[in-house]
Structure 1
Amino acid sequence: MFNKLFGKKEVKKEETIVAPLTGKIVSIEEVPDPTFSQKMMGDGIAIEPTEGVVVSPVDGEIVQFFHTKHAIGIQSESGAEILIHVGLETVNMNGEGFEGHVNVGDKVKAGDKLLTFNLDLIKEKAASTVTPIVITNGDAVESLDKRAASEATKGATSLLQIKMK
C-alpha cells in the first residue's frame, strides 16, 4: 500500500557499460589466459590499453579492490557485478606501478577515475597488458550485447549493453 502512495524506487534493468580504458578492443575469447578466454569468470570484453588510467564503466559502488591494486570490482545500479582486471599475471607485481583512487564502499559515476598504472612497467613485468572487463554474475543477466567497435575511449565508448533479469 505504501508503495502505491509513495512510489517504489525503480531499479534499473538495462544499462550501458562504457569503456574503463582507452585502447584497442579485444574479444574476450582472444585474451591469452584461459580463465578469461574460456569465460570461467564470466562473459565480457577486453581492452589492450594505450594509457594507464582506469575509470568507472558505470554508476555504481566499489565492492572489491584487490590489495595489489591490479583488479577492481564494481556493482552497477542494475546489479551487474563488473570485474576490471588490469593486465595478465599482474598480481605478481604486488601493487608495484599501481595507484588506487577509490576505496571499497565508494559510490562512483561512469567516468570517475578508479586507478592509474604504469603501462611500461606492466609490459616489462607481466604476461600481457590486455585488460579483461567481465560480468561475474552472469546468472543474473538476461542479455549481454557487445558493441562492434575496434577502439575504445575511456568513459565514452559504449562496450556492452546489459539487461538484468
Structure 2
Amino acid sequence: MNEKGERLMFGLFHKKEQKALELGAPVSGQAVPLQEVSDPTFGGEILGKGVAVRPTDGRIYAPADGEITLLFDTLHALSMTTDTGAELLLHIGLDTVALKGAHFKAHVKTGDKVRKGDLLLEADLKAIREAGYDVITPMIVCNTDHFAEVKAVTGAEVTPQDTVLILTSK
C-alpha cells in the first residue's frame, strides 16, 4: 500500500524518486552550451554531455566533492569522480596539451580527495591566449549514460560553485 492507501503490485506502479546532483562551475566566466566549443570531440559530445565556460579567471575549482582520478602531466586537464559517481573531465583550453605544462600550476595530485570549491589548478589565461590557444574550458560527464538527464545551465556569468550542470539519476 502507498500513502494514499492504494495497493501496489511489486512496486511496478510506484514512481521511483529521481535524485539530482548539481555541479558547480569549475571557473568564473560565461557558461555556454558545449556545442559552442569548436573542438569536435567536445562540441560533438563524443566524450559525453557537459557544459563549457569562457573563463575570466584562471583559477579552476572542484565542481563537487570527490576524488582526483587523473591529473595529466601537462596540467591542462584532470579527471575526477564525484562522491555520487559522476566521472568528470575538466579541460582547460583547446589543444593546450601542446604547452607541456607551461602556464599551469597544480594544487592537487592524482588520488587527492577534494571538496566542492577546492582550488585544483591555476592557469595563466593571458599567457595561454598569447601563445595562440583558446581558453574555453569544457566540463564533460564521461559516464553520461549512467544518468537519466544531463542538463547544462548556460547563458549567464558564473562563479565557482554556481550550478552549471544538473545530473538526474536513473
**TM-score, scaled relative to structure 2:** 0.86
Q: Residue 161 of structure 1 corresponds to which residue in structure 2? A: 166
Aligned equivalent of 2:35, options 19, 29, 32: 29
Whether 1:88 and 2:94 are equivalent positions in the alignment is: yes
Give yes or no for contact 2:31–2:156 (8 Å, CA) kept in 1: yes
How many residues get paired? 153
Give yes or no for contact 2:31–2:154 (8 Å, CA) kept in 1: no
Which SS does the other structure have where 2:128 is aligned? helix
Report the CA distance between 1:21 and its aligned residue: 0.1
Q: Residue 49 of structure 1 corresponds to which residue in structure 2? A: 55
Aligned equivalent of 1:115, options 115, 118, 121: 121
Give yes or no for contact 1:100–1:114 (8 Å, CA) kept in 2: yes
Q: Percent identity?
A: 38
The runs of 5 or more residues in structure 2 that have no matched partner are: 1-18
Q: Residue 67 of structure 2 corresponds to which residue in structure 1? A: 61
Instruction: State the one-letter code of the partner of 2:129.
Output: K
- Specify whether residues 106 and 41 from structure 1 end up closer, same or farther in structure 2 by C-alpha distance, changes over 3 A only: same
Report the CA distance between 1:148 and its aligned residue: 4.2
Distance 2:31 2:154 in 1: 9
Structure of larger gyration radius = 2
Give yes or no for contact 1:90–1:126 (8 Å, CA) kept in 2: no
Report the CA distance between 1:14 and its aligned residue: 3.0
Higher mean displacement: 110-119 or 143-152: 143-152
Which SS does the other structure have where 1:82 is aligned? strand
Distance 1:21 1:74 in 2: 15
Which SS does the other structure have where 2:30 is aligned? strand
Whether 1:142 and 2:154 are equivalent positions in the alignment is: no
- Root mean square deviation of aligned Cα: 1.4
Which SS does the other structure have where 2:105 is aligned? strand
